A and B are shown apart, each in its own frame.
Chain A
Amino acid sequence: MIQAIGLTKHYGSFVALHDLSFESRPGEILALVGPNGAGKTTALKLLVGSLTPTAGQALIGGFDVHHQPVDAKRLLAFVPDQPFLYEQLTVSELLSFIGGMYRMDPANLQRRAEQLLRTFDLEQVAGRQIGQLSYGMKSRLLLLVSLLHEPKAMILDEPFFGLDPQTLRLMKQLLIQRAADGMTIMLSTHQLPIVEDVAHRIAVLSRGRLLALGTWDELKQQHGGQRLEDIFFQLTGAPHRELA
């Protein structure tokens, strides 16, 4: 469903991503981990179509994101790392806007919106302006918005950042459930314990290169260690900076 074939991105002489290739199947959660500057966000942006690759291809459901963007985007949902939404629209107006952008049938939109508002516990604030919501509510709304058009694949950039324990659990349950329903999910995060909980496969990136890719068991067998953190540091190098 989500496929990268030799994805490469250069900024001048700087190589942000080099020859990234993988395929993520339906019903799978693939986690992308790596230190800051590893190229995770670049990879996600290339897959979403926000960046143009220097070389390689990004396919969503077999459609090239850059050459068949309309078909690819119909299947895809993206959740950025920050909940930037139109602050002066109400929650329900935003949902109407998104529904209109995806040409959703109004009756279907109404049904989906009510169902998702209930799931994310946002029914009470449906008539409130987004600027008046808390950070956690905005994060939930972001996820709600991305699920509105019933996508087949979902890409999330740092979805667990700044969430309270309740929302975090909700998010984890939701991802596992959607994957069980057949959705392909790809996410990037620094929260290694959560990756252990939810991901079916893990990709470790560093300095724009893919260092390892496999299931949690495969990675343990190949690299040893009891926790993902051990494998992560073994692959990317342990911190050696002096504390201030």
Chain B
Amino acid sequence: MTGCDRVTSAHRQPAGEALFFWVRWRMWRAGIRALWQAPAKLVVMTITWTVLLAGLSTLCDHGVRFIYNSPGFGPFLLSRLWYLLLFVILAMLGISQVASAYSTFIRAPETRWWMVLPVSARTLCRVKWVESSVYSAWAVLLLLLPLTMAYVRVLNQPLYLVAAIGGLVFVPLLGIMTAISTIGLLVWLRCCSRFVVRGEWIPLGFVVASIGFFWLLGEQRSTGQQDVWFVALQALLPRMRIAMSGWLPSRWAATAMLAWLEGRRVECAVYTALLWTTLFVAWRVLDHLSAALLWPVLRQHAQPALGEAAPARRGKGHAPWWVRHPLLACLTKDALLAGRDPMQWSQAVMFFGLLGAYFANIHRIAQLSVDPQWRIGIAALNLACTLLVFGSLAVRFLFPQMSLEGRNLWLVRIVPRGVRQLFVSKLAFYGMAAVVIIECLLGLSMAQLGVPLTLRWWLALVGVMAAATIVGLTVGLGAWWMDPTSQDAVRMVSSSNGALVLVFVLAYVGCVVAALVLAWLSWLVGAWARLGFISLGLTAISALVCVLSIRLGLARLERLESAV
């Protein structure tokens, strides 16, 4: 078969949506082949994923069994927690899908190319919706499946039910949420484009709304001396009321799943049918809306012509004294670019804002004279939560940083020591930002909980160390696995390298959490030597991870053969 024959036959087969997925399939297949040719990387990935999934599965198993076996209210609490979990996951997925859809629909350069092909708006919207949904939902499925598996095991049901529940209940649930988010995004971009220009305010508005939400949930009322479990349950109940609302697809999914596992077949069938019907309706609405909105939205967000653009920012030849040094020049450049791109920081503002709103509302625990040991435990847990959030954000935004320099990299490569300065400036800029944010949140949490001063210092140091390590890990490995030709951050993060970095970050955060738990237990029994040993161990692990990642990144940058 000649080259021409191959091209012709390849073109004859797919069309429309199939053509798009065919292109994706070929790209994916090429990625798999490349992975196959790098056996060391394949082995590391396989081992890491196996360990991660096994660990997650064991953790879920123990957690679910612990709650289920709690005397008196275990099974009831566990079933109710499903409503809350699915509700929270749904909300997180909604936010994630907005970012993913914006990136896939609007920012991906290939969209402009697809626009000039004889492809309808509906076709483009369908494929982009599916693609963005996969990017935003795979991690959710990864979390839900081990939990479901653990729950099925606890109830002594057959394991094949996990696949059935995943396919029949969770898939439509995720589909509904991603479709609704995409509809919301398209309508917003079309109708409120003026506000989109001022998109900087959106995440701040979200944080303000979250603070109001916490206040409305009734945290402001104070009660007397009560048991911790009771306080926790009392705090859970108002949230539960929202999560149990009959209008929420998360409730339908939870009900369908519980009915299935408890043998209520009719109820299960009704709710599953409701989920699939809603998915179908949401998809059709998205389909019709996209036919009317997608082209105008894409045209609206095309690069503005000269003269229609935003007003000039500054006068000519502006040269402040502090950009005299290359490192400062890079820092200034990074700060300006990050500040002008709300996608870079809006999710950080939202997630850290939520954490801040939560930390600002935990003063009740101190007011209730809860045992100081528990307060210290909660402070450590808050640090772990903050690091987890920061870790996932770092993978999403810091890992692709060096690659996104991509085609502009020639500019720093021709400068003496330019790339090195750029790399160091990224470490410094994001490291400083991370330390400031994490320390502020931690300070707020510890002040609200009334943690003793010595422990405050210890936790603050752990926070600084962990923040620096996560930045070193993500930026360093981002440089090591740099792809200067890639311009789509979402796709990079979803790639095998991105997933591996996420695993490494989660593993490191796991180490920090383990160290925090051990340190807390040592504090309880006054084992100071053990506390010192744990601190040393954590410092050694952090230094190793950070230095190794940075050295790998630097080594790659030094022998980088540019694709400029």
Q: Is the interface of B mostly helix, strand, loop or mixed?
A: loop
Asked whether A51 lies within 8 Å of B561 as measured between CB atoms, the reply is yes
Decide yes or no: A101 and B415 within 8 Å by CB, A84-B410, A86-B333, A114-B316 being known contacts. yes
A residues 43-95 near B (Cβ < 8 Å) are 45, 48-52, 69-71, 73-74, 76-78, 80, 82, 84-86, 88-90, 92-93, 95
- A235 adjacent to chain B (CB < 8 Å): no
Decide yes or no: A100 and B315 within 8 Å by CB, A50-B562, A73-B415, A93-B336 being known contacts. no
- A177 adjacent to chain B (CB < 8 Å): no
Q: Which residue of A lies closest to B320 (CB)?
A: A96
User: How distant is the Cα of A108 from the Cα of B406 in the complex, in angstroms?
Assistant: 30
- B418 adjacent to chain A (CB < 8 Å): yes
Decide yes or no: A100 and B561 within 8 Å by CB, A80-B410, A92-B316 being known contacts. no
**Whole-angstrom distance from the CB of A81 to the nearest CB of chain B?**
9
Asked whether B319 lies within 8 Å of A99 as measured between CB atoms, the reply is yes
- A227 adjacent to chain B (CB < 8 Å): no
Decide yes or no: A117 and B318 within 8 Å by CB, A85-B411, A100-B324, A128-B309 being known contacts. no
Asked whether A95 lies within 8 Å of B562 as measured between CB atoms, the reply is no
Asked whether B316 lies within 8 Å of A113 as measured between CB atoms, the reply is yes
Asked whether A90 lies within 8 Å of B319 as measured between CB atoms, the reply is no
User: How distant is the Cα of A108 from the Cα of B303 in the complex, in angstroms?
Assistant: 34
Asked whether A97 lies within 8 Å of B317 as measured between CB atoms, the reply is no
User: How distant is the Cα of A175 from the Cα of B303 in the complex, in angstroms?
Assistant: 31
Asked whether A90 lies within 8 Å of B317 as measured between CB atoms, the reply is no
Chain B neighbourhood of A71, CB < 8 A: 416
Binary flags per residue of B327-364, CB closer than 8 Å to A gives 1, else 0: 01110110011001100000000000000000000000
User: How distant is the Cα of A78 from the Cα of B413 in the complex, in angstroms?
Assistant: 10
- A225 adjacent to chain B (CB < 8 Å): no
CB contact between A77 and one of B304, B332, B414, B561 (< 8 Å): that residue: B414
- A234 adjacent to chain B (CB < 8 Å): no
A residues 84-137 near B (Cβ < 8 Å) are 84-86, 88-90, 92-93, 95-106, 109-110, 113-114, 117, 123, 125-129, 131-134, 137
User: How distant is the Cα of A50 from the Cα of B316 in the complex, in angstroms?
Assistant: 32
Q: Which residue of B lies closest to A137 (CB)?
A: B306
Binary flags per residue of B392-417, CB closer than 8 Å to A gives 1, else 0: 00000000000000111011111111
User: How distant is the Cα of A115 from the Cα of B418 in the complex, in angstroms?
Assistant: 25
Asked whether A99 lies within 8 Å of B337 as measured between CB atoms, the reply is no
Q: Which residue of B lies closest to A142 (CB)?
A: B411
Chain B neighbourhood of A51, CB < 8 A: 561-562
Asked whether B309 lies within 8 Å of A96 as measured between CB atoms, the reply is no
Q: Which residue of B lies closest to A122 (CB)?
A: B316
Chain B neighbourhood of A49, CB < 8 A: 413-414
Chain B neighbourhood of A129, CB < 8 A: 309-310, 313
- A145 adjacent to chain B (CB < 8 Å): yes
User: How distant is the Cα of A55 from the Cα of B333 in the complex, in angstroms?
Assistant: 37
CB contact between B341 and one of A52, A73, A88 (< 8 Å): that residue: A88
Asked whether A109 lies within 8 Å of B319 as measured between CB atoms, the reply is yes
Asked whether B312 lies within 8 Å of A90 as measured between CB atoms, the reply is yes
Chain B neighbourhood of A97, CB < 8 A: 323, 329-330, 332-333
User: How distant is the Cα of A90 from the Cα of B323 in the complex, in angstroms?
Assistant: 15
- B321 adjacent to chain A (CB < 8 Å): yes
User: How distant is the Cα of A106 from the Cα of B328 in the complex, in angstroms?
Assistant: 13
Q: Which residue of B lies closest to A78 (CB)?
A: B414
Chain A neighbourhood of B315, CB < 8 A: 92, 126-127
User: How distant is the Cα of A125 from the Cα of B309 in the complex, in angstroms?
Assistant: 11
Asked whether A101 lies within 8 Å of B303 as measured between CB atoms, the reply is no
**Whole-angstrom distance from the CB of B103 to the nearest CB of chain A?**
16
Chain A neighbourhood of B33, CB < 8 A: none
Decide yes or no: A100 and B317 within 8 Å by CB, A86-B333, A145-B411 being known contacts. no
Asked whether B304 lies within 8 Å of A85 as measured between CB atoms, the reply is no
Chain A neighbourhood of B74, CB < 8 A: none
Q: Which residue of B lies closest to A71 (CB)?
A: B416
Asked whether B337 lies within 8 Å of A103 as measured between CB atoms, the reply is no
Decide yes or no: A86 and B415 within 8 Å by CB, A97-B329, A128-B312 being known contacts. no
**Whole-angstrom distance from the CB of A53 to the nearest CB of chain B?**
11
Decide yes or no: A74 and B309 within 8 Å by CB, A88-B341, A97-B332, A109-B319 being known contacts. no
Asked whether B408 lies within 8 Å of A50 as measured between CB atoms, the reply is no
Asked whether A110 lies within 8 Å of B319 as measured between CB atoms, the reply is yes
Asked whether A114 lies within 8 Å of B561 as measured between CB atoms, the reply is no
Chain A neighbourhood of B417, CB < 8 A: 70
Decide yes or no: A113 and B319 within 8 Å by CB, A90-B313, A101-B412, A132-B310 being known contacts. yes
Asked whether B317 lies within 8 Å of A92 as measured between CB atoms, the reply is yes
- B564 adjacent to chain A (CB < 8 Å): yes
Chain B neighbourhood of A110, CB < 8 A: 317, 319
Chain B neighbourhood of A95, CB < 8 A: 317-319
Binary flags per residue of B418-430, CB closer than 8 Å to A gives 1, else 0: 1001000000000
Chain A neighbourhood of B332, CB < 8 A: 93, 96-97, 100
Decide yes or no: A76 and B414 within 8 Å by CB, A85-B408, A88-B337, A127-B312 being known contacts. yes
Chain A neighbourhood of B11, CB < 8 A: none
Q: Which residue of B lies closest to A48 (CB)?
A: B414
Binary flags per residue of B542-564, CB closer than 8 Å to A gives 1, else 0: 00000000000000000101101
**Whole-angstrom distance from the CB of A108 to the nearest CB of chain B?**
9
User: How distant is the Cα of A52 from the Cα of B325 in the complex, in angstroms?
Assistant: 28
Decide yes or no: A101 and B306 within 8 Å by CB, A52-B561, A80-B410, A93-B314 being known contacts. no
Asked whether A106 lies within 8 Å of B319 as measured between CB atoms, the reply is yes
Asked whether B416 lies within 8 Å of A100 as measured between CB atoms, the reply is no
User: How distant is the Cα of A33 from the Cα of B456 in the complex, in angstroms?
Assistant: 68
- B166 adjacent to chain A (CB < 8 Å): no
User: How distant is the Cα of A133 from the Cα of B306 in the complex, in angstroms?
Assistant: 6
Asked whether B416 lies within 8 Å of A96 as measured between CB atoms, the reply is no
**Whole-angstrom distance from the CB of B75 to the nearest CB of chain A?**
54
User: How distant is the Cα of A106 from the Cα of B337 in the complex, in angstroms?
Assistant: 22
User: How distant is the Cα of A213 from the Cα of B330 in the complex, in angstroms?
Assistant: 41
CB contact between B408 and one of A48, A86, A123 (< 8 Å): that residue: A86
Asked whether A100 lies within 8 Å of B306 as measured between CB atoms, the reply is no
Asked whether A127 lies within 8 Å of B421 as measured between CB atoms, the reply is no
**Whole-angstrom distance from the CB of A171 to the nearest CB of chain B?**
19
Decide yes or no: A106 and B320 within 8 Å by CB, A73-B416, A80-B410, A97-B329 being known contacts. yes
Asked whether A101 lies within 8 Å of B313 as measured between CB atoms, the reply is no
- B377 adjacent to chain A (CB < 8 Å): no
CB contact between A74 and one of B316, B317, B407, B416 (< 8 Å): that residue: B416
Chain A neighbourhood of B316, CB < 8 A: 92, 113-114, 117, 123, 126-127
Q: Name the residue in B340, B412, B414 with the highest tally of chain A Cβ atoms < 10 Å from its Cβ.
A: B414
**Whole-angstrom distance from the CB of A148 to the nearest CB of chain B?**
11
Give 10 A-B contacts (CB < 8 Å), ordered by A residue.
A50-B564, A80-B410, A82-B407, A84-B406, A93-B318, A98-B329, A100-B324, A100-B325, A103-B325, A126-B314
